[in-house]
Amino acid sequence: MKKLLLISSILCISAFFEDAAARSVSQLADDTVSAVKQGKPYLKFRYRYEFNDDDAARKNANASTLRSVIGYETAPIFEGLKGLLEIENVKTIASNEMFNDGNNGKTRYPLVPDPEITEINQLYLSYEDPYLFSAKLGRQILKFDNERFIGENGWRQNQQTMDAVQFSTDRFAGIDATYAYVANVNLAPGDRLPDGDWESSSHLLNISYDKLALGKITGYAYFMDFDNSIANSNQTIGASFDGNYPFSQSLAALYRFEYATQQDYGDNRNDYDAGYYQAMGGVKLGATTLQSSYEVLESEGTAGKAFRTPLATTHRFQGWADKFTTTPAQGIEDLNASASYKLTSSSEILNNLSFTARYHMFTAQNTGTDYGTEIDLLAEKQFSDKYYAQIKGADFDAEPGVGLSDTKKIWLTMGANF
């Protein structure tokens, strides 16, 4: 473990050392046993069938996988100190793997990066101070804002987690601040893959203020340094403004604006300077939401000098077909529009049934070349606090001669949380 993480760990737990020293060893042991006994176990299951028809592959992929999670969080041991352990398993349900998981060598199929894996997904100590801050030390999920730059990549069956120490505070009126030092990134493909685990010396800072009349302003500085993925090392500094303006109980305007600048960092040999900006406007009318967004990731004209988002939840952005999880060499502009509707009904079958449709037009930021268009469709149902189901589809239509392939994907998902 990195020296800085060790130092931060010592600082993190020093807040309750004094109280612990005042207790006898037997009393501390009794408190720990009691906290474990009074803790909260939980279970999560998510089954998914994924169909992938990519013209670049010889066969269509049919992936049937089950994600199972068992976790346990203790009650407070003393002075706000708790612990959490979470174990995750991803298993292929069908006996014949008809997909390329990135590790099984079945390259005639399109990639569905959900390899079989069993691992400790989260393991951390948390500390909650009632007056100043909270902290976490260990393997954990980090999510900032809309996860455009830092997220869990939770769409895939194996979550992205980080070995980190995190400090956060919301004890001051309107201010929410988080700092994290990341010593290792456990990527969604899992550590069975050569590129599934990144050694890191990264500093992440995010500060927001939500007491403005029209919304919340956020500033961030992410200094990402990866020892075994130096091309992804970068420093990203930016700000966003996110809010809504209610005209009445049933009508509100929605808006979001964001800008960031990115440069090489650490041992990255690519000397570059690229920008990111996004503007979103929309309206919420009762159960219907309409939005339009324009998002740009710049590039200097080569793949190594493009704006990159290595720790993002990329599936949320630039189309669900996942054709642009890395920024093309000529950058990318994404002009999209979406409509969603959520039913409220006395019928148990129809209540909490929601629909979303989105259309994307992708072009190269440098040259204006059309990459293609995409239609995304989603229907999902929340049956209760415990059960949910979802059917989702993506249809990417590539422009000829741009090095991309037509791709159609369908997902059927069922889940339960206990």
pLDDT at 177: 97
Round the average pLDDT of the chain to a whole number and report it.
91
Residue 259 clears pLDDT 60, i.e. is over it: yes
SS (H, E, C) 40-108: EEEEEEEEEEEEEEECCCCCCEEEEEEEEEEEEECCCCECCEEEEEEEEEEEECCCCCECECCCCCCCC
22, pLDDT greater than 80: no
Token pair 């305007």 in the structure block, residue: 253
Calculate mean pLDDT across residues 290-316: 96
Condensed to tens digits (0 to 9), the pLDDT of residues 39-92 reads 899 999 999 999 999 999 999 999 999 999 999 999 988 788 999 999 999 999
Q: How confident is the model at residue 26 (pLDDT cuts 50, 70, 90)?
A: low
**Per residue in 198-228, pLDDT tens?**
999 999 999 999 999 999 999 999 999 999 9
Query: For residues 155 and 315, what is the distance between their CA atoms, to the nearest angstrom?
Result: 7
Checking if the pLDDT of 31 tops 70, the result is: no
CA 43/CA 107 separation, integer angstroms: 34
Q: What is the pLDDT of residue 21?
A: 52
Please tell me the pTM assigned to this model: 0.90
Model confidence at 10: pLDDT above 60? no
Query: In this model, does residue 12 exceed pLDDT 60?
Result: no
Radius of gyration of the chain (CA): 23
* Residue 25: band (very low, low, confident or very high) from pLDDT cuts 50, 70, 90: low
The tens digit of pLDDT for each residue in 374-417 reads: 999 999 999 988 999 999 999 999 999 999 999 999 999 999 99
Residue with tokens 């980190």: 164
Do residues 120 and 85 make contact, with C-beta atoms less than 8 angstroms apart?
Answer: yes
The better pLDDT of the pair 187, 195 is held by 187
Please state, for a pLDDT cut of 90, what percent of the chain lies above it.
79
Gap between the Cα atoms of 116 and 154, Å rounded: 16
Task: Express each pLDDT in 312-358 by its tens digit.
Answer: 999 999 999 999 999 999 999 999 999 999 998 888 788 889 999 99
61-73/81-92 β-pairing: antiparallel
pLDDT band at 194 (very low <50, low <70, confident <90, very high): low
